[in-house]
Amino acid sequence: GQQLNQSPQSMFIQEGEDVSMNCTSSSIFNTWLWYKQDPGEGPVLLIALYKAGELTSNGRLTAQFGITRKDSFLNISASIPSDVGIYFCAGPPVAGNNRKLIWGLGTSLAVNP
Amino acid sequence: NAGVTQTPKFQVLKTGQSMTLQCAQDMNHNSMYWYRQDPGMGLRLIYYSASEGTTDKGEVPNGYNVSRLNKREFSLRLESAAPSQTSVYFCASLTGTGNTGELFFGEGSRLTVL
């Protein structure tokens, strides 16, 4: 099925470093969602973006809805150990059933204290 | 404030056995979903229910059945479990309308089929 392309696939960083990850698609989206999955838990919504060009922050996290509507970016500043987990991007397709989200495969983040 | 509750959290089955995963949400959401998560495969949609009384296939429905018992509950049944169904299963419910698509997930059910 259709998927979003997330990169990088995994990251291993030092505590205090900034992190950037992105999500791209060959088709446009009207909504971009960023989820985080802690080890052993279900994904939790971090940030939702609804407008092209939109820049939204949630604490140390900042996400942007790309102007082309085909990409989105998530940045984490000053990483801490609890940032460890898998970060997923997702969105409902513009064409087709918007009740069925399209998902990226995730970016796995490890933070070395 | 329970949100989405899944049971059981862990289950081991033998090939050919059947079981039902239960899911309930207390947020009055219309849409509910069942996903499976396998290493390197991300989240794959098995079935979803847009509203009470309706169900539709997702990306990987083979080997599964679902029942939307009422607005709160959405169960997933494996009639004859296979090792390929070893996975972590997540139930989710959807808030918002139109393109908002904000899913709330349960904690997951970890199934092993021997």
The pLDDT of residue A97: 67
The pLDDT of residue A94: 74
Q: Chains A, B: CB contacts under 8 A, how many?
A: 62
Q: Answer yes or no: do B42 and A105 touch at CB < 8 A.
A: yes
Q: Which residues of chain A have pLDDT under 70?
A: 1-2, 96-98
Q: Answer yes or no: do B103 and A101 touch at CB < 8 A.
A: yes
The pLDDT of residue B1: 60
Q: What is the mean pLDDT of chain A?
A: 92
The pLDDT of residue A100: 79
| Token pair 């996903």 in the structure block, residue | B35
The pLDDT of residue B41: 83
Reported as a pLDDT band with limits 50, 70 and 90, residue B14 is very high
d(CA A34, CA A30): 14
Share of chain A above pLDDT 70, in %: 95
d(CA A82, CA A105): 21
The pLDDT of residue A93: 75
Q: Does B100 touch chain A (CB under 8 A)?
A: yes
Reported as a pLDDT band with limits 50, 70 and 90, residue B98 is low
Q: Which two tokens stand for residue B23?
A: 């899911």
CB atoms within 10 A of CB A27: 14
> To which H or E segment does residue B17 belong?
none
Share of chain B above pLDDT 90, in %: 80
Confidence check: pLDDT of B101 > 80: no
Question: In terms of CA atoms, which chain B residue is nearest residue A47?
Answer: B102
Confidence check: pLDDT of B100 > 70: no
Kindly give, in sequence order, each residue whose CB lies less than 8 Å from that of residue B27, ignoring residues fewer than 6 positions away: B3, B4, B93, B95, B104
Q: Which two tokens stand for residue A37?
A: 């999955």
Kindly give, in sequence order, each residue whose CB lies less than 8 Å from that of residue B38, ignoring residues fewer than 6 positions away: B44, B87, B88
Is-contact A27 A70, C-beta < 8 A?
yes
Q: List, for residues A38-56, the tens digit of each pLDDT value.
A: 988 999 999 999 999 999 9
Q: Answer yes or no: do B40 and A42 touch at CB < 8 A.
A: no
Nearest C-alpha of chain B: how many angstroms from A33? 8
Which neighbouring-strand residues pair with B4? B25
B101 against B108, higher pLDDT: B108
Kindly give, in sequence order, each residue whose CB lies less than 8 Å from that of residue B52, ignoring residues fewer than 6 positions away: B30, B68, B70, B71
Share of chain B above pLDDT 70, in %: 94
Confidence check: pLDDT of B6 > 80: yes
B20 against B103, higher pLDDT: B20
The pLDDT of residue B96: 67
Kindly give, in sequence order, each residue whose CB lies less than 8 Å from that of residue B39, ignoring residues fewer than 6 positions away: none
